[in-house]
Amino acid sequence: MTSRPGLPRTPGTGVPAVSAVSAVSAALAAVLVAGTAVLSACSDDGDSPVPSTTHPASAATVSAPGAELGTPETEDGPLSGSQPVNVLPGDGTALVAAQIRVGAHSTYDRVVVEFDGTGSPGWDVGLTDHPTADGSGLPVDFSGRQAMTIDLRGIDMNATADRAAAGKDATPPVKLAKDTGAIRSVKAAGAFEGQQRVVVGLADRNPEFRVNLLSSPTRLVIDVMRR
Protein backbone atom coordinates (compact mmCIF):
# COMPACT_ATOMS: atom_id res chain seq x y z
CA MET A 1 0.00 0.00 0.00
CA THR A 2 1.27 3.41 -0.87
CA SER A 3 1.25 6.01 1.96
CA ARG A 4 -0.11 9.45 1.45
CA PRO A 5 2.63 11.86 0.50
CA GLY A 6 3.63 14.66 2.89
CA LEU A 7 2.54 12.90 6.10
CA PRO A 8 5.59 11.82 8.18
CA ARG A 9 5.58 8.41 9.89
CA THR A 10 6.85 7.42 13.31
CA PRO A 11 9.88 5.21 12.62
CA GLY A 12 9.22 1.46 13.00
CA THR A 13 5.47 1.85 13.58
CA GLY A 14 3.89 2.93 10.36
CA VAL A 15 1.67 5.25 12.40
CA PRO A 16 1.51 8.84 11.30
CA ALA A 17 3.59 11.04 13.61
CA VAL A 18 0.71 13.52 13.96
CA SER A 19 -1.32 10.80 15.73
CA ALA A 20 1.37 10.49 18.41
CA VAL A 21 1.35 14.23 18.91
CA SER A 22 -2.44 14.15 19.28
CA ALA A 23 -2.18 11.40 21.87
CA VAL A 24 0.32 13.42 23.89
CA SER A 25 -1.90 16.51 23.66
CA ALA A 26 -4.89 14.51 24.86
CA ALA A 27 -2.88 13.18 27.78
CA LEU A 28 -1.79 16.70 28.75
CA ALA A 29 -5.36 17.92 28.54
CA ALA A 30 -6.49 15.11 30.84
CA VAL A 31 -3.81 16.09 33.38
CA LEU A 32 -4.92 19.73 33.25
CA VAL A 33 -8.57 18.75 33.77
CA ALA A 34 -7.66 16.58 36.73
CA GLY A 35 -5.60 19.39 38.23
CA THR A 36 -8.48 21.80 37.86
CA ALA A 37 -10.80 19.37 39.62
CA VAL A 38 -8.34 19.05 42.53
CA LEU A 39 -8.06 22.83 42.85
CA SER A 40 -11.86 23.15 42.81
CA ALA A 41 -12.15 20.57 45.56
CA CYS A 42 -9.60 22.46 47.70
CA SER A 43 -11.49 25.68 47.15
CA ASP A 44 -14.80 24.12 48.19
CA ASP A 45 -13.60 22.45 51.40
CA GLY A 46 -13.46 25.75 53.34
CA ASP A 47 -9.66 26.00 53.58
CA SER A 48 -9.37 28.87 51.10
CA PRO A 49 -10.25 32.43 52.27
CA VAL A 50 -13.72 33.63 51.33
CA PRO A 51 -14.18 37.35 50.63
CA SER A 52 -16.42 39.02 53.20
CA THR A 53 -18.42 42.23 53.11
CA THR A 54 -18.47 44.47 56.15
CA HIS A 55 -21.32 46.82 56.92
CA PRO A 56 -20.76 49.98 58.96
CA ALA A 57 -22.56 49.89 62.28
CA SER A 58 -25.23 52.47 62.90
CA ALA A 59 -24.59 54.91 65.73
CA ALA A 60 -28.08 54.16 66.94
CA THR A 61 -27.07 50.59 67.87
CA VAL A 62 -24.38 51.66 70.33
CA SER A 63 -24.90 50.82 73.98
CA ALA A 64 -24.01 53.69 76.29
CA PRO A 65 -22.42 52.63 79.60
CA GLY A 66 -23.24 54.76 82.63
CA ALA A 67 -20.91 56.37 85.14
CA GLU A 68 -21.67 55.89 88.82
CA LEU A 69 -22.49 59.12 90.64
CA GLY A 70 -23.97 59.01 94.08
CA THR A 71 -26.31 62.02 94.09
CA PRO A 72 -27.36 64.82 91.71
CA GLU A 73 -25.11 67.20 93.66
CA THR A 74 -22.03 65.53 92.17
CA GLU A 75 -22.97 66.81 88.70
CA ASP A 76 -20.83 69.90 89.24
CA GLY A 77 -17.62 68.12 88.24
CA PRO A 78 -16.37 68.02 84.63
CA LEU A 79 -16.95 64.85 82.61
CA SER A 80 -14.28 63.53 80.26
CA GLY A 81 -15.05 62.27 76.77
CA SER A 82 -18.43 61.90 75.09
CA GLN A 83 -20.75 59.09 74.13
CA PRO A 84 -22.44 58.78 70.71
CA VAL A 85 -25.13 61.31 69.89
CA ASN A 86 -27.56 58.63 68.66
CA VAL A 87 -28.25 55.66 70.95
CA LEU A 88 -31.11 53.17 71.22
CA PRO A 89 -32.73 52.43 74.61
CA GLY A 90 -32.13 49.12 76.35
CA ASP A 91 -34.63 46.29 75.97
CA GLY A 92 -37.64 46.69 78.24
CA THR A 93 -36.83 50.29 79.15
CA ALA A 94 -39.79 52.17 80.66
CA LEU A 95 -38.83 55.65 81.83
CA VAL A 96 -40.40 59.03 82.52
CA ALA A 97 -38.46 62.28 82.27
CA ALA A 98 -38.95 63.56 85.81
CA GLN A 99 -37.01 66.82 85.67
CA ILE A 100 -34.76 68.94 83.44
CA ARG A 101 -32.28 71.32 84.99
CA VAL A 102 -29.62 73.57 83.50
CA GLY A 103 -26.54 74.65 85.42
CA ALA A 104 -23.93 77.29 84.60
CA HIS A 105 -20.20 76.54 84.80
CA SER A 106 -17.13 78.57 83.95
CA THR A 107 -16.52 77.04 80.51
CA TYR A 108 -19.80 75.25 79.74
CA ASP A 109 -23.49 74.99 80.54
CA ARG A 110 -24.92 71.63 81.54
CA VAL A 111 -28.33 70.17 80.70
CA VAL A 112 -29.39 67.32 82.97
CA VAL A 113 -32.45 65.17 82.25
CA GLU A 114 -33.32 63.01 85.25
CA PHE A 115 -35.45 59.89 84.75
CA ASP A 116 -37.81 57.80 86.88
CA GLY A 117 -38.48 54.18 85.96
CA THR A 118 -36.43 51.21 84.83
CA GLY A 119 -33.97 50.47 82.07
CA SER A 120 -31.36 52.40 80.11
CA PRO A 121 -32.55 55.39 78.05
CA GLY A 122 -31.66 56.13 74.48
CA TRP A 123 -31.31 59.52 72.87
CA ASP A 124 -30.70 61.44 69.67
CA VAL A 125 -29.00 64.84 69.99
CA GLY A 126 -28.70 67.21 67.03
CA LEU A 127 -28.65 70.83 65.90
CA THR A 128 -31.28 72.55 63.77
CA ASP A 129 -32.60 75.97 62.82
CA HIS A 130 -36.23 74.84 62.72
CA PRO A 131 -37.14 72.51 65.59
CA THR A 132 -40.56 70.85 65.51
CA ALA A 133 -42.64 68.82 67.95
CA ASP A 134 -42.88 65.05 67.50
CA GLY A 135 -46.22 63.88 66.20
CA SER A 136 -47.76 67.23 65.32
CA GLY A 137 -44.77 68.58 63.42
CA LEU A 138 -45.57 72.05 64.70
CA PRO A 139 -42.66 74.47 65.19
CA VAL A 140 -41.21 74.87 68.67
CA ASP A 141 -40.15 78.35 69.74
CA PHE A 142 -36.69 78.91 71.24
CA SER A 143 -34.35 81.76 72.13
CA GLY A 144 -30.92 82.07 70.56
CA ARG A 145 -29.21 81.60 67.21
CA GLN A 146 -29.74 77.85 66.84
CA ALA A 147 -31.62 75.02 68.53
CA MET A 148 -30.45 71.70 69.92
CA THR A 149 -32.99 68.89 69.89
CA ILE A 150 -32.68 66.14 72.47
CA ASP A 151 -34.94 63.18 71.68
CA LEU A 152 -35.35 61.02 74.78
CA ARG A 153 -35.99 57.36 73.91
CA GLY A 154 -37.51 54.59 76.00
CA ILE A 155 -40.30 56.76 77.42
CA ASP A 156 -43.14 54.86 79.13
CA MET A 157 -46.25 56.09 77.36
CA ASN A 158 -48.59 54.46 79.92
CA ALA A 159 -46.90 56.23 82.81
CA THR A 160 -47.01 59.50 80.89
CA ALA A 161 -50.73 59.07 80.25
CA ASP A 162 -51.31 58.25 83.93
CA ARG A 163 -49.60 61.50 84.91
CA ALA A 164 -51.85 63.45 82.58
CA ALA A 165 -54.95 61.62 83.89
CA ALA A 166 -53.93 62.50 87.45
CA GLY A 167 -53.81 66.15 86.54
CA LYS A 168 -50.02 66.29 86.53
CA ASP A 169 -47.97 67.92 83.80
CA ALA A 170 -47.05 65.33 81.16
CA THR A 171 -43.86 67.28 80.41
CA PRO A 172 -41.03 67.48 82.95
CA PRO A 173 -40.47 70.74 84.85
CA VAL A 174 -37.48 72.81 83.73
CA LYS A 175 -35.07 74.63 86.03
CA LEU A 176 -32.85 77.07 84.15
CA ALA A 177 -30.02 78.90 85.92
CA LYS A 178 -29.94 82.66 85.38
CA ASP A 179 -26.23 83.00 84.57
CA THR A 180 -25.93 80.58 81.65
CA GLY A 181 -23.75 81.66 78.75
CA ALA A 182 -24.21 78.98 76.08
CA ILE A 183 -27.88 78.15 76.67
CA ARG A 184 -30.72 80.65 76.25
CA SER A 185 -33.86 78.54 76.68
CA VAL A 186 -35.13 75.00 77.34
CA LYS A 187 -38.56 73.65 76.41
CA ALA A 188 -39.90 70.08 76.78
CA ALA A 189 -42.55 68.85 74.36
CA GLY A 190 -45.06 66.04 74.91
CA ALA A 191 -44.19 62.36 74.51
CA PHE A 192 -45.04 60.55 71.28
CA GLU A 193 -44.53 56.85 70.46
CA GLY A 194 -42.00 56.24 73.21
CA GLN A 195 -40.00 59.39 72.57
CA GLN A 196 -39.97 62.87 74.09
CA ARG A 197 -38.28 65.91 72.57
CA VAL A 198 -36.48 68.65 74.45
CA VAL A 199 -35.57 71.83 72.55
CA VAL A 200 -32.62 73.88 73.81
CA GLY A 201 -31.99 77.42 72.53
CA LEU A 202 -28.28 78.12 71.95
CA ALA A 203 -26.41 81.42 72.13
CA ASP A 204 -24.04 80.42 69.30
CA ARG A 205 -24.28 78.27 66.21
CA ASN A 206 -22.65 74.83 66.05
CA PRO A 207 -21.14 74.78 69.52
CA GLU A 208 -19.04 71.93 70.81
CA PHE A 209 -21.05 69.64 73.09
CA ARG A 210 -20.65 66.36 74.95
CA VAL A 211 -23.18 63.68 75.84
CA ASN A 212 -22.93 61.34 78.83
CA LEU A 213 -25.16 58.98 80.79
CA LEU A 214 -24.95 59.00 84.57
CA SER A 215 -26.53 56.59 87.02
CA SER A 216 -27.88 56.61 90.60
CA PRO A 217 -30.24 58.15 89.56
CA THR A 218 -30.37 57.72 85.79
CA ARG A 219 -29.51 61.01 84.10
CA LEU A 220 -28.67 62.13 80.59
CA VAL A 221 -26.12 64.96 80.68
CA ILE A 222 -25.28 67.30 77.79
CA ASP A 223 -22.48 69.83 78.26
CA VAL A 224 -22.54 72.77 75.83
CA MET A 225 -19.21 74.61 75.63
CA ARG A 226 -19.12 78.38 75.99
CA ARG A 227 -17.28 80.62 73.54
Q: Tell me: the pLDDT tens digits for 122-172?
A: 999 999 999 999 888 999 999 999 999 999 999 999 887 776 676 666 789
My answer on whether omega of the bond before 51 falls inside 30° of 0, hence cis, is no
Q: Which of 188, 193, 189 is nearest to 111 (CA)?
A: 188
DSSP state of 79: -
Residue 47 CB-density burial (10 A; 0-12 exposed, 13-18 middle, 19+ buried): exposed
CATH for 82-225 (3.40.50.720, 2.60.40.3500, 2.40.360.20, 1.20.120.50): 2.60.40.3500
Give the single-character DSSP code of 92. Answer: T
- Model confidence at 75, pLDDT cuts 50, 70, 90, reads low
